Amino acid sequence: MLKVGLTGGIGAGKSEVSRLLVDHGAVLIDADRIAREVVAPGSPGLAAVVEAFGDRILTADGSLDRPGLGAIVFADPDRLAVLNSIVHPLVGARSRELETTAAPDAVVVHDVPLLAENGLAPLYDIVVVVDTSPETQLDRLVRRRGMTEEDARARMGAQATREKRLEIADVVIDNDVPLDALRRRVAEVWTDLVRRERAHRAGSRRAPGE
């Protein structure tokens, strides 16, 4: 098994890259999706978030008001740290549980938005960074997601810098390109990941000292 950490700044197009990798055969473990699951209504995770932030972060039906909570934490690094201290251990435990169900020869891609911020690179055999310019990120967040420029800049500012992400990258996928070019680059990366997985498996079979 090859464990791949996939990351990129908000608006970089990481979801598209992960979808393309799944099309090639990757097993995807999506940290964002798990993060929603661990704070579902009735979960211990949601109870802990409410205890930390109060009932104001709940909607009328008792579920988490994610935009409302986001507006609080992305404007206050200390409050963001509190949220992360609740959610990240739950996400990590569930991710490890899902990883154990993958085949021994699988390429398991962990889609982790805050990989650089939380110093998680050592957990993976390979770190793949989806890279775009800040200008492209801002344009996508405002034009495609309907954020205000102020909100988009706040969310970008709460994440690691582009330089910090690139420092931990083993593989970089440039997503300031047309979709056809992105597809070709992802296909190249997939071929490399499969090669690495085979080499990784062969190495793990060798006896110590061989």
Question: Which positions ≥6 away from 51 have C-beta within 8 Å?
Answer: none
As a whole number, mean pLDDT of residues 90-117 equals: 91
Strand partners, 171: 128
The percentage of residues in the chain with a pLDDT greater than 90, rounded to a whole number, is 67
User: What pLDDT is stored for residue 88 in this prediction?
Assistant: 87
b/e per residue 186-200 (b: at least 16 CB within 10 A): beebbeebbebbeeb
For residue 209, is pLDDT > 80? no
Percent of the chain at pLDDT exceeding 70: 97
pLDDT band at 203 (very low <50, low <70, confident <90, very high): confident
Q: What are 124-160's pLDDT values in tens digits?
A: 999 999 999 999 999 999 988 888 888 889 888 888 9
Whether the model pTM is above 0.85: no
Residues 149, 137 contacting (CB under 8 angstroms): no
Confidence (pLDDT) at 92: 87
pLDDT at res. 117:
87
Instruction: Count the residues in the chain.
Output: 210
Is it the case that residue 23 has pLDDT exceeding 50?
yes
For residue 118, is pLDDT > 80? yes
> Per-residue pLDDT for 208 more than 80?
no
The per-residue pLDDT for 163 is 94
Strands of 107-111's sheet in order across = 27-30, 107-111, 2-8, 126-131, 171-174
Task: State the average pLDDT over residues 46-51.
Answer: 94
pLDDT at 207: 45
134 three-state secondary structure: helix
Q: What does pLDDT average to over the chain?
A: 90
pLDDT top residue among 151 and 175:
175
Domains defined along the chain, listed by start? 2-202 (3.40.50.300)
Does residue 205 carry a pLDDT above 60?
Answer: no
**pLDDT category of residue 206 using cuts at 50, 70 and 90:** low
Q: Residue range 76-91: average pLDDT?
A: 89
The model's confidence at residue 71, banded by pLDDT at 50, 70 and 90, is: confident
What's the CA gap between 80 and 73, in Å, rounded?
4
